[in-house]
A = this chain, B = another copy of it.
Amino acid sequence: MGASKNSIHSNYCIEVAEIAKVFSHPARVAILLYISKEDTCICNDIVSEIGLSQATVSQHLEVINKAGIIRGTFKGNSKCYDINIERFKDLQVLLNSFFATTKANCC
């Protein structure tokens, strides 16, 4: 089908999966690492760094943005992206709660 049968899953499972999906593409991981490393965070610099087209990078930025992990503000006609640390920490807590629950107890 291509579409997940979300209705049969708990909200918790859906939420964990949605968070993980943000990090499930190497370009998005690279973008987040780049924004973290650089003091500038200019969108155009991200395009140069990542090696994908401007349109594609913009789409990946939108995915990360929709999850609330980054915020963009215009500086001149460039856009400057920054990590929303509070939100990012919240997502980490949720993922780590899932990790902590996952353990072996049989076989």
Q: Which residues of A contact B (CB under 8 A)?
A: 4-6, 8-10, 12-14, 16-17, 20-30, 32-33, 36, 38-41, 50-52, 71, 73, 75, 80-85, 88, 92, 95-96, 98-99, 101-107
Contacts and interface: CB of A to CB of B under 8 A. Distances in A.
Nearest to A75: B107
A27 to B, nearest CB: 7
B98 A83 contact: no
A8 B51 contact: yes
Contact of A36 (B83, B92, B105): B105
A106 B85 contact: no
Contact of A33 (B38, B51, B101, B106): B101
